[in-house]
Amino acid sequence: MLNGGVRPSTIEGVKRLANQLKKSQGIKHSRALDLAAQAADCQNYRHAQHELPARSTQPAGHAIFVTVYWQDRENWDVGRETLKLDFDRPMLEMFSTADLRHAPGFKGMRAVAADHVVADHLAISRDHARRRICVAARTLRFMEHSGLRPYVGRHKLHPGGEKVSELPDTDHATDWYDPASGQFVLIDEPYGDKPDDEARAEWARRENWHLRKSSWPGRYNPFACELYVATDAVNGFAIDALMGKIDAMPDPVLERDWTGDSAASHALFLSPGATSPQDRRRARARGIVVPRSTGTTAPYGATIGGQRRRPNAVMRLSDHVEIGRILKAAMRFGKLPFQAYQRLNLLRSALEDWLGEELEYRRSNDFDVVDVYYGHDELDALAVRVGSPEGLAQLLSEVHGKLKAAYPDCAPLRRELRKIDVAVDYIVRADPRVVKP
């Protein structure tokens, strides 16, 4: 229900009121803007644009900046979008770094200063960048007003430890908890015409859970989805108080009302809280960092949002071929544990990538890279040595040694060697008679 006494004093306030009118009265957005402008003693929205300030000039309090860089996949235009949000308290007083890392809408983002959150991966367009920022902004506001924080446990449990069945027709659900009580809270945001209300009400009765629908337009997709709050009713959690906080939230930030800062480049944005050289380095999104070779590693596999790295060295083709034969024979061994198979499959995928880069370095075009690690070798003599778990473990130890001899010690190499170690551990675990090489 709208408050008939609302008198917007800024264009920002007119837009918020218009969104409420549009939803409550089912009218066009342009008509809602005119009605909201009239509530501000203006003739229409155009008149309000001339008469009212864009936003309040009152002290802003503590700012939080959210930045996403982008690169368009169709025309390769690039840019940066940054939105400033004002809060009553500093960001790291309200939210822990773990909250920001696990919060819905913050995947791939990190706090780079006390007032700045940056997405490391490039968005695929300007619109997508703004959408990501607005989702993050709505999440921050939701945490600020509701007091809830992201729940990262493995199960949604009753206080007594009994697992809860799934809410019918759930969609875009996110897991939260109340820090004061430890109460688990499910936020469900299905599209408005999707949920079976009767089935969901029956679920709430059967599980003895509260299930309430909020009047706030939502965090995931406002005005298209509807927000429901579900939580255990057994221990007297103050559901009415929580609903009051959520229902009283200000209108959600929307892409169509964009008020952020836009740049047509990847020029670095530094927030006021970035006061040291370390802050400046942290502020760079990983997706805009130009990768360079070091003494031990080299970048490869360019993708939007980043690159992988490999050892900065070239292994002999004969060693690649022999390792490929060993891995193919090992993965055809009938007693190979599935977990070991998974590690070896990942290993050969990485080695195939490295071989492709090394062949390009040699300017060789007459070698079948795929065949080395994935081709079928008829009657390979190595199959005899792989005929037992002991022989298999020994051969994988030889692969380990060849890789260490060919490449410098570096993180990419250690990652692949670890896969061999884990595979051998599974082989030994499956047959205690096998002695680890």
* 332 vs 386, residue with greater confidence: 332
Same-domain check for residues 142 and 247: yes
Rounded Cα distance, 424 and 418, in Å: 10
Yes or no: say if 72 and 80 are a contact pair by the CB < 8 Å rule: no
Rounded Cα distance, 16 and 368, in Å: 61
Q: Exposed, middle or buried by CB within 10 Å (0-12, 13-18, 19+), for 377? A: middle
In this structure, is residue 322 part of a structural domain?
yes
pLDDT of residue 286: 86
Mean pLDDT calculated for residue range 84-102: 93
Phi and psi for 186 in degrees, rounded to 5?
A: -95, 125
Same-domain check for residues 283 and 306: no
Does the pLDDT at position 1 exceed 50? no
- Residue ending a domain, among 255, 289, 323, is 289
Residue 326: CATH number of its domain: 1.20.1260.40
Yes or no: say if 423 and 394 are a contact pair by the CB < 8 Å rule: no
pLDDT of residue 59: 46
Percent of the chain with pLDDT over 70: 88
Q: How many domains does the chain fold into?
A: 3
Does the pLDDT at position 100 exceed 70? yes
DSSP string, 182-245: --EEEEE--BTT---HHHHHHHHHHHTEEEEE-SS--SSSBTTB--EEEEE-TT---HHHHHHH
- Residue ending a domain, among 289, 323, 351, is 289
Same-domain check for residues 79 and 41: no
In this structure, is residue 6 part of a structural domain?
no
In this structure, is residue 224 part of a structural domain?
yes
Ramachandran area for residue 16 (φ above 0: left; ψ -120 to 50: alpha; else beta): alpha
Same-domain check for residues 76 and 183: yes
Same-domain check for residues 341 and 281: no
- Residue ending a domain, among 289, 307, 339, is 289
Same-domain check for residues 108 and 160: yes
Same-domain check for residues 347 and 203: no
Does the pLDDT at position 160 exceed 50? no
In this structure, is residue 305 part of a structural domain?
yes
Pairing of strands 261-263, 306-311: unpaired
Mean pLDDT calculated for residue range 229-239: 92
pTM for the whole structure: 0.62
Rounded Cα distance, 362 and 403, in Å: 19
Same-domain check for residues 414 and 345: yes
In this structure, of 50-54, 251-255, 257-261, 397-401, the range with the lowest mean pLDDT score is 50-54
In this structure, is residue 225 part of a structural domain?
yes
Same-domain check for residues 241 and 307: no
Pairing of strands 116-119, 62-71: parallel
CA 48 distance to own-chain centroid? 39
In this structure, is residue 233 part of a structural domain?
yes
Same-domain check for residues 242 and 306: no
Same-domain check for residues 274 and 130: yes
The alpha-carbon radius of gyration of the chain (Å, integer) is 29
Using 50, 70 and 90 to split pLDDT, how confident is the model at 366? low
In this structure, is residue 3 part of a structural domain?
no
The dihedral through the CA atoms of 403, 424, 341, 390 has a sign that is: positive
Mean pLDDT calculated for residue range 379-390: 70
Rounded Cα distance, 231 and 233, in Å: 6
Same-domain check for residues 164 and 243: yes
In this structure, is residue 41 part of a structural domain?
yes
Rounded Cα distance, 263 and 274, in Å: 19
Mean pLDDT calculated for residue range 206-211: 93
pLDDT of residue 161: 45
pLDDT of residue 3: 43
Tokens of 211: 């299930």
Phi and psi for 357 in degrees, rounded to 5?
A: -65, -40
Q: Quickly count: other Cβ atoms within 10 Å of residue 170's Cβ.
A: 17
Does the pLDDT at position 86 exceed 90? yes
Domain range holding 407? Answer: 297-430
Q: Taking all residues of the chain, what is their mean pLDDT, rounded to a whole number?
A: 87
Q: Which long-range contacts (CB under 8 A, 24 or more apart) does 57-60 make?
A: 60/86
